[in-house]
Copies of this chain bind each other. A is one copy, B any other.
Amino acid sequence: MSILTRPILEINLNNLVANYKLLQQLAPRAEAAAVVKDCAYGLGDILVAQTLYEQAKCRCFFVAHGVEGAKIREVAPDARIFVLQGIGEDSLDDFISARLIPVISSKEMLAFWKEHKIPGIKPAIQIETGLNRLGFREHDLAQMNHEDLHEFGTVLSHLACADEKDHFMNQHQLDMFIYLKETYFPKLEATLSASDGTFLGKEYQFDIVRLGAAMYGINTAPYRENQMKPVVRVKAPVLEIANLPKGEFVGYSATYRATSNRKIAIVSIGYGDGIPRSLSNTGKVFFNMCDKLHEARILGRISMDNIICDVTDIDNLQIGDMADIISDYYTLDDIARDAQTISYEILSRVGKNPRYFRKIKYPEVIDF
């Protein structure tokens, strides 16, 4: 028996690189850019960007904010780094020092850019095709003069429903993108799709595909089986095993009451570690013992540091055994379903607590 207290976050960089390469093969004529915003979806932007730069020869990155781009520049000296939220007074210094490429989404931001142009940088323009988020609408484009239209090096838009293969919005946005691009930016490099759009087929891929969620192992094409390898696994040790007599309550606000005698395990991980509290009384953890897989239902509210689960039927469980929290048999996508959110939100949260013990599997073959 071991006495252990810390949750473990395993990051498999081999699988990250394998996923990147698989997606690259799906879009052989496009440049495969890596989306490393939001700390690389929580995994660590430096770790992910450096791996993709060195092991997969990735030379194009997307971040959300200038401050994120400046960090990536440290490990990707000659890559293009696009900044999706664009440029402003609060990020100008980062753009200059790290030679970042702003994605410009409004005429006001374009005016700002024209006052603060950075020599050698051609910004991207984001155009709105149906998401109704950031981007120039057609009437904005129609009002732009020749000089403004030639300010840009790349034209970008973003799909709203690309995780549903037959959603009417996909074709609608594709048509709109082609129309606006051909009308206003016929010669520009173009990018429409993130991971999910990449799966929709060649006509959605254009010159750059922006690989994020799928590269991190998420199934962004849920209408088919996940082809991605898992990049993240989370485990946490059993701190205590106790009997729960019939009639007793479990956890905050006493939301679970035992209707028969149960055996419970207290596992050392909670919502502070990014496990969604909405899994309370609905999610589960797994124990893989002697190659037999046991499911243990979460009882009561998840707290900041602990999950309590029902291990009545698991005979040989010991203190120090590891519960699988995110695993091959209870994936990010499974958890997202049970927590009523999407895998992206869970991934983004899990990676950010520094108290995880991080086990990082580095690529085995360095062919750089």
Which residue in chain B gives the minimum CB-CB distance to A164? Answer: B253
User: Which of A184-192, A225-233, A326-334, A345-353 participates in binding chain B?
Assistant: A345-353
The distance in angstroms between the C-alpha atoms of A306 and B134, with both chains bound, is 9
Name the residue in A1, A3, A105, A249 with the highest tally of chain B Cβ atoms < 10 Å from its Cβ: A3
Asked if A3 and B249 make an inter-chain contact with CB atoms under 8 angstroms apart, the answer reads no
Count of identical protomers in the assembly:
2
| Main DSSP-derived SS at the A contact region | loop
User: Which of A13-21, A25-33, A83-91, A288-296 participates in binding chain B?
Assistant: A83-91
Interface residues of A in 111-163 (CB under 8 A from B): 112, 128, 130-135, 137, 160-161, 163
Asked if B4 and A305 make an inter-chain contact with CB atoms under 8 angstroms apart, the answer reads no
A355 at the interface (CB under 8 A from B): yes
A165 at the interface (CB under 8 A from B): no
The distance in angstroms between the C-alpha atoms of A349 and B350, with both chains bound, is 10
Residues of chain B lying within 8 A (CB to CB) of residue A73: none
A interface, how many residues as a size bin?
Answer: 35 or more
A360 at the interface (CB under 8 A from B): no
Name the residue in A68, A135, A342 with the highest tally of chain B Cβ atoms < 10 Å from its Cβ: A342
Q: Which 4 A-B pairs have the closest CB atoms?
A: A38-B272, A3-B88, A352-B352, A3-B112
> Can you report 7 residue pairs joining A to B where beta carbons are below 8 Å apart?
A5-B85, A64-B305, A88-B237, A132-B242, A133-B303, A135-B240, A169-B254
